[in-house]
């Protein structure tokens, strides 16, 4: 039976869409304050346990590349329900893992949950036209940002009270709750019978030849890459450089999420009025400049939690303005391939983030301070500005030619 568009009254609620992406965000960062302790528990180096971030992102990149086309073909609902079922089984595996190798295997399987990032955006694009998509995505991701805002804080407290496995128990419990919510509320939104896979593949060249798609995708990739590099390196900086406890690291982790929530709110309120491109450009500038100042401060010896996490809060603000608009932009290029475009763009962002998270782990050591991590974040964040300027220049060129 082919998926059919549902009446407006039966479309998924905002709570459902926020919950889908919220569990993915939770699974990505609730355990981060525990990483150094997990390395000690399994008897491995921090760089090995840091693979639970970078390898997770790498697998997620591949899955996001596939889930978009599959959901365009068979529908959003079955793909999301299947992803949650696999995630729950993998979470049980992380709790029972006897070695670091088995833990990392199940951790990589857990990456299936990040299909929710792609498909929640595709569901929004199914329900509303392009000019409203950026605003609604902003509301969805603003709500989602509440989860990573508090998750590391909760994870740090759970670690000190019950050990690192308590964070994974929390993932499982919340995953079960959202699975039930999706079962009852996640109606199908894909239009018609879906786009046949052969037709999707035949349409890829049109998507790939679009300067707008690549410009928006690169802007999102660079912006998200800076955040993923932060996820990979911040636990080390917090505990080894700034000498914070796991709980204190968790408290400071709220800083970028607060900024991201404010940026999403700004995007939701003003994107339609200001325009996607100008909002993306403003977000890139707001994210990059404070990171550059923090790098200069670190090189001068002014290391403090306020300087480091404060600059990342501004990065979160900029990303919250940039990402909803860049995502809406890439999906508006070929609306009939919204899921495919979202998956390809998401895959690029996460693949880049996986590499940057691993790179941060390689260069961080006790004597380097936070400088290597901040340098990586400054460079890639500045790349989002260049990508946006490229899109704007191409659009001006097209207008002159037209």
Q: Would you say residue 44 lies in a domain? A: yes
Q: Would you say residue 78 lies in a domain? A: yes
Q: Would you say residue 379 lies in a domain? A: yes
CATH code (residue 140): 1.20.1250.20
Q: Would you say residue 272 lies in a domain? A: yes
The count of domains in the chain is: 1
Residue with the two structure tokens 């670690």? 159
Q: Would you say residue 2 lies in a domain? A: no
Domain residues for the domain of 108 are 15-401
Residue 277 · residue 392 · CB < 8 Å:
yes
**Section 274-282 average pLDDT:** 88
Look at residue 208 and tell me whether its pLDDT is greater than 90.
Answer: no
Q: Would you say residue 3 lies in a domain? A: no
Q: Would you say residue 346 lies in a domain? A: yes
pLDDT digits (tens, 9 = 90+) for 216-240: 888 988 888 888 888 778 888 888 7
Q: Would you say residue 208 lies in a domain? A: yes
pLDDT digits (tens, 9 = 90+) for 290-340: 999 999 998 888 888 899 999 999 999 999 899 888 888 887 776 666 666
Q: What is the pTM of this model?
A: 0.69
């Amino acid at each position: 039976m082919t998926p059919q568009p549902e009446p407006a009254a039966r479309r998924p609620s905002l709570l459902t869409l926020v919950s889908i992406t919220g569990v993915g965000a939770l699974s990505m960062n609730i355990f981060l304050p525990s990483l150094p302790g997990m390395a000690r528990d399994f008897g491995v180096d921090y760089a090995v346990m840091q693979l639970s971030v970078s390898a997770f992102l790498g697998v997620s990149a591949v899955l996001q590349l596939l889930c978009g086309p599959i959901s365009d073909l068979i529908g959003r609902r079955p793909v999301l329900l299947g992803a949650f079922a696999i995630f729950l089984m993998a979470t049980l595996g992380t709790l029972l893992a006897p070695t670091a190798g088995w833990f990392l295997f199940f951790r990589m399987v857990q990456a299936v949950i990040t299909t929710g990032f792609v498909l929640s955006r595709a569901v929004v694009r199914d329900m509303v036209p392009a000019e409203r998509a950026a605003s609604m995505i902003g509301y969805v991701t603003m709500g989602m940002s509440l989860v990573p805002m508090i998750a590391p804080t909760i994870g740090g407290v759970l670690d000190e009270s019950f050990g690192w496995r308590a964070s994974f128990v929390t993932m499982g419990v919340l995953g079960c709750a959202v699975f039930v919510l999706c079962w009852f509320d996640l109606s199908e939104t894909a239009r018609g019978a879906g786009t046949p896979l052969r037709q999707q593949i035949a349409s890829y060249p049109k998507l790939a030849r679009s300067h707008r798609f690549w410009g928006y995708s690169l802007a999102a990739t660079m912006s998200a890459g800076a955040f993923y590099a932060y996820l990979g390196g911040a636990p080390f900086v917090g505990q080894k450089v700034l000498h914070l406890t796991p709980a204190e690291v968790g408290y400071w982790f709220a800083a970028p999420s607060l900024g991201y929530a404010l940026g999403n709110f700004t995007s939701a309120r003003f994107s339609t009025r200001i325009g996607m491109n100008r909002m993306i450009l403003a977000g890139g500038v707001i994210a990059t400049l404070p990171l550059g100042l923090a790098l200069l401060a670190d090189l001068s010896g002014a290391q403090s939690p306020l300087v480091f996490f404060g600059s990342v809060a501004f990065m979160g603000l900029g990303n919250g303005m940039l990402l909803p608009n860049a995502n809406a932009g890439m999906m508006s290029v070929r609306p009939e391939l919204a899921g495919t475009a979202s998956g390809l763009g998401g895959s690029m962002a996460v693949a880049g983030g996986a590499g940057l998270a691993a790179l941060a782990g390689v260069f961080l050591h006790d004597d380097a301070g936070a400088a290597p991590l901040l340098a990586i974040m400054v460079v890639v964040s500045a790349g989002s500005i260049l990508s946006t300027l490229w899109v704007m220049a191409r659009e001006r060129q097209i207008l002159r030619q037209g």
